[in-house]
Chain A
């Protein structure tokens, strides 16, 4: 570390610029990762809050619970217990009574005696006491407890009884209501009673009904409309940014090494071991990457402070550490070519001339 540290201290501007460029790339990766996680969170927050392990729904729904419908007899034939809950999910919209502004939501009908309803955490208000009372996501900040609202195709007047945090499903805020209201809100035949079953048990749901299909948690998430495409887009962006950072680090270190070749050749001639010089390049890369990632992390923290609430970023420390580890790892990988160049230095070149 001796040579690396002194060189960086001496060449402050040069190394400062390199650290800035790599730090900005790290910042971009942090922000995009947080944005990806934030958007994923908007898809799955409600599903996560149910501790979903497996789901059961109509086979024709192709894994999209919002498209699934099940009759009472189909439901009755399924094994249900304290770890399962029947849900009726439909994308719809809500509006305050006598107002024309509509807001897109996901209505999720649940039974009050099942675990999802019983585990709902409220930040305001109370649990529904009547069939026409609903709990809304705190993202619907324009609505307040006791507001009268209309939902979807149903003419019934509903009352907001409570507000719950972390209630988002497939990018839309959730309105939890009584399962009996699901079919009129969705505007379908009342013989259909629900979309499907959710289970938080590690033992997967089972069914003998060939019209129904069980999905594990990941398949359920992957079949949410737009979720996989969105996830893959972000994964590609992050992977490409990390690859770009690898290329940038390699180019910088390669140019730095080429510029230092006469000095390194002198050191080799003087008997400084090859291993010491290679180790020095590795240490230099480590220092650059740590400082750059630190700079990127500070920028991310500052940006997070000023970022408007409407931007769906979600900062998660384990994810950040994982991303930082990825950037660090690829950076160190980038030092291999300069290290190889150092092993090929011929000290004879500095004699004579």
Chain B
């Protein structure tokens, strides 16, 4: 069973002599329970790939299918709904709304997505697993980097998406924290049966991944 499939994706910017390929004939698939790592240096096209995976940009050519739905054919509004229901983003920075307590970050999701969010029991389990149960009444500014990252992951999981997209989740973390985040992403994939795609240049995460791809100059190659 495939959760997400990219089929011969090309993304170009500019035209004529100025045409630049950000992604060249990229294809890959993920299944529920997979932790996929996409490694690549700066400028390799990682961000472009992530925005396409998240439905924020459309590929120039090729198709992206999520849970049997071709994302390319969706309207702007349908894409918003798709992101809300199917994608959990864990971003590098500005992950959390600064003026909402940790608890209210989840309430916000309830306001815009009325159904199919985690129920109380699952939510309790997630916040315990992430070790944030005592942080619920704190504001993001009162959290450490690692705590904020875990809250962001919980926030991404709260809407119960089938896919978690993580953008450099270990940026600015020390080695101990990198191991913790790696284990966490692995447990989300394996225990909660989500497709987790992590875009990073941090090779320390390699040991946790089920599949590893390298992205160089817009070309994706599977290495594991």
Q: Which residues of A contact B (CB under 8 A)?
A: 2-3, 6-7, 9-11, 262-263, 265-274, 276, 347-348, 350-353
Contact = CB atoms under 8 A, between A and B. Distances in A.
Given A2-B107, A350-B91, A351-B91, A271 B97 contact: no
* 10 residue pairs, one from A and one from B, having the closest CB atoms: A352-B47, A271-B84, A271-B83, A10-B99, A7-B99, A262-B94, A266-B94, A348-B51, A351-B51, A348-B56
Given A271-B112, A351-B56, 6 more contacts: A7-B99, A10-B139, A271-B85, A274-B80, A351-B167, A352-B47
B182 interface: no
Contact of A11 (B51, B93, B99): B99
Given A262-B94, A266-B95, A352-B46, A271 B100 contact: no
A259 to B, nearest CB: 11
A10 B57 contact: no
B98 interface: yes
A276 B167 CA distance: 25
B77, B88, B111, B168: most-surrounded residue (chain A CB, <10 A)? B111
B74 interface: no
Given A348-B56, A352-B46, A270 B98 contact: no
A2 B111 contact: yes
B117 to A, nearest CB: 12
A351 B113 CA distance: 23
B94 A271 contact: no
Contacts of B111: 2, 276
A169 to B, nearest CB: 58
Contact of A352 (B94, B112, B167): B167
Contacts of A348: 51, 56-57
B167 A270 contact: no
Nearest to B81: A271
Contacts of A351: 47, 50-51, 54, 56, 91, 167
Interface in B55-85: 56-57, 77, 80-85
A6 B111 CA distance: 13
A267 B156 CA distance: 11
Contacts of B57: 348
B54 A269 contact: yes
21 contacts: A2-B107, A6-B100, A9-B99, A10-B139, A262-B93, A263-B94, A266-B94, A269-B54, A270-B83, A271-B81, A271-B113, A271-B159, A272-B80, A272-B84, A347-B56, A350-B91, A351-B91, A352-B50, A352-B92, A353-B92, A353-B93
